[in-house]
Structure 1
């Protein structure tokens, strides 16, 4: 398998990932792919030849090896690495789909018009694609750990196994090659897989909490805008009521008792005399 090509494909996912996603990708390459390529492949390279049984019965060693190792650790880990990194390509394909839509939109409406502010930003459908990929990766990791534990009953590799499968003449002892070394690498790969599961869960929590915080901020801004508009409306209504109330009160206020009494007691002759005096010319200078 060409792991360099595999690394080149996954490197495109790094720029669309969060901080937890970048740490996850580093753990996959450094602690899993590199260990797999450099050391683990060589340790399990001659496992069937080193699987020795204390009998010369033809076919007994092969049958016992197939019984205890239905699938090799090294091949199971290779499948795990392939399957666990495939969901990351969903994000790359979604971004490529956005880029294609953006290109067609600009060709139709001009270069100044944009359909997306940033095609790689995790909003809308891309956010859901990224979140689903995290759930799928976590599920694949858990499934392969369960398969490994179910096939070998545990993550521990014994030095000696007893086999009574036909065509073995009786219960024979079979010895596994490099058992301690294989056990160390098994624990290491299982631990790296567990670390990747923890990072995926942390990234899921980070994305969901960030989305909830963004929605809460939008709701708070909307409430503040509505409160400001309501306050402005109340102030305008209050000002209008203050201006109109004195005039209404003056118009609706009945005449006082004193003014009514004065106007009724005043003789009409005085009013006529005042009018004549006001209209007569001033002859005092004569």
Structure 2
């Protein structure tokens, strides 16, 4: 799935969203997608090459890097972006089904295309539940994989083939931690927006 497709998907869903849903699209597109493409990718681009340990033992650095970073932050962030945006396809497919059905019957079967009601409302609510679920799962995953949302300057590694406990240094730790906090903040904001939109649609 390309970033251009993700952008078009979010823009298409925007037509059928409430005001809160449009804010969610803006947050995902501007504060997450564009930040990822413009800045975050460059910060983590050479994270493996810039991970250094104070030992020349062959294989030690690779093993330690794999232990402390089993999945790259930036790849997990990209996967999160894709997963939280994918449920919007449910709404797109439902709207396409409606339009094809009207075209087949050659008459208007539904109210205004931009109005959320009936089956489309159920589909929309399901997409909100899925998006919220994915956000929470990835936040927990980030927390569990990296022992919190902090990026240390120094880690100590004693995994074989390292002959003893060695010090390993992470490049740009402060910059990475700022982006990680930004990721957490935008994820929490999206969760709040999803829950707010869900409540609005249920109780309106």
Q: State the TM-score bracket (shorter-chain normalisation).
A: over 0.9
- Paired residues, number: 204
Match of 2:127 in 1: 133
The 4+ residue runs of structure 1 with deviation greater than 2 A are 117-121
Match of 2:169 in 1: 175
Mapping of 1:80-229 within 5 angstroms? Answer: 80-106=80-106, 113-210=107-204
Distance 1:30 1:78 in 2: 14
Is the 8 Å Cα contact of residues 27 and 186 (structure 2) preserved in structure 1? yes
CA RMSD of superposed structures (Å): 1.0
Distance 1:117 1:189 in 2: 39
Distance 1:9 1:205 in 2: 24
Larger Rg: 1
Moved more, 35-44 or 8-17: 8-17
More helix by share: 1
Is the 8 Å Cα contact of residues 9 and 88 (structure 2) preserved in structure 1? no
Verify: 1:20 aligned to 2:20, yes or no: yes
Is the 8 Å Cα contact of residues 83 and 140 (structure 1) preserved in structure 2? yes
What's the CA shift for 1:11? 0.8
Is the 8 Å Cα contact of residues 57 and 167 (structure 1) preserved in structure 2? yes
Match of 1:63 in 2: 63
Distance 1:204 1:115 in 2: 26
What's the CA shift for 1:180? 0.5
Is the 8 Å Cα contact of residues 95 and 120 (structure 1) preserved in structure 2? no
Is the 8 Å Cα contact of residues 10 and 89 (structure 1) preserved in structure 2? no
Q: Gaps (5+ residues) in structure 1?
A: 107-112, 211-286
Q: Gaps (5+ residues) in structure 2?
A: none
The TM-score normalised by the length of structure 1 is 0.70
Distance 1:128 1:2 in 2: 28
Distance 1:59 1:114 in 2: 67
What's the CA shift for 1:105? 1.0
